[in-house]
């Protein structure tokens, strides 16, 4: 008789996978991908190390899954800000500010997503999500050009520059060597670091001081 997986078994597998993902996410949020050892993840999830490899072909595949999950949350937040009321320049400023503030609020995870050295498979995901951010910014820039609140320019190139500028400007503050400084950053809109980053990005985009 052919082996048939029961609904109960499928549910147990799904629950185990969910615990593995949640515990890996926790490890990365606390200490980066470097601290997410398979043995530690297995212990936290209450499974054998072999169980992890039944759900993910490799450690890199597991980390890529965590990267997609964490980054998609941030992309969704940027998209939400870009869909809020106001002209395109105002919405872009709001989205950039939210990106920076959320990064400083969770510096370890933000560092892991933006700058931590990672395996090639995870780096591929990083590049894909940088493109996702750029696509959102490009659309808003084109809308701003049509509205007249943003000068005519190469929207594709400008969107790429925005992604690079805001990510690179956060690398230093988010670095593990600056963790205490990052953790003490203000979470309000008056934070000098955030204001400085946003001012630079928006002046480059609009050509005017803000």
Q: Where are the domains of the chain?
A: 1-56, 63-206
* Mean pLDDT within 103-128: 95
pTM: 0.87
| Per-residue model confidence as pLDDT tens digits over 41-95 | 999 999 999 999 999 999 999 999 999 999 999 999 999 999 999 999 999 999 9
CA distance 6 to 98: 45
| Residue whose C-alpha is closest to residue 206's, from 96, 49, 76 | 96
Cite the beta strand spans of the chain per DSSP E. Answer: none
How confident is the prediction for the chain on average, in pLDDT? Answer: 91
% of the chain beyond a pLDDT of 70: 92
CA distance 192 to 44: 39
Q: Is the pLDDT of residue 174 over 70?
A: yes
For domain 1-56, give the CATH number: 1.10.10.60
- What's residue 95's pLDDT? 98
CA distance 170 to 36: 23
Q: Which fold has domain 63-206?
A: Tetracycline Repressor; domain 2 (1.10.357)
* Residue 17 Cα to chain centre, angstroms: 22
**What residues have CB less than 8 Å from 47, skipping those under 6 apart?**
16, 19, 20
- What's residue 179's pLDDT? 54
Which of 3-17, 31-45, 171-185 has maximum average pLDDT? 31-45
């Amino acid at each position: 008789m052919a082996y048939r997986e029961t609904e109960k078994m499928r549910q147990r597998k799904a629950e185990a996978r969910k615990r593995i993902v949640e515990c890996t996410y926790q490890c990365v949020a606390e200490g980066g991908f470097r601290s997410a050892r398979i043995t530690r993840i297995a212990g936290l999830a209450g499974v054998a190390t072999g169980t992890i490899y039944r759900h993910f072909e490799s450690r890199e595949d597991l980390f890529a899954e965590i990267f997609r999950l964490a980054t998609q949350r941030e992309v969704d937040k940027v998209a939400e800000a870009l869909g809020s009321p106001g002209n395109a320049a105002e919405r872009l400023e709001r989205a950039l500010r939210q990106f920076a503030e959320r990064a400083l609020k969770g510096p370890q995870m933000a560092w892991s997503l933006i700058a931590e050295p990672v395996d090639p498979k995870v780096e591929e995901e990083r590049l894909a999500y940088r493109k996702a951010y750029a696509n959102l910014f490009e659309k808003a820039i084109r809308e701003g050009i049509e509205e007249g609140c943003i000068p005519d320019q190469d929207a594709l190139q400008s969107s790429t520059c925005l992604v690079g500028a805001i990510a690179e400007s956060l690398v230093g503050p988010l670095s593990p060597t600056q963790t205490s400084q990052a953790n003490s950053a203000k979470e309000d809109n008056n934070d000098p670091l955030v204001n400085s980053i946003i001012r630079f990005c928006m002046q480059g985009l609009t050509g005017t001081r803000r």
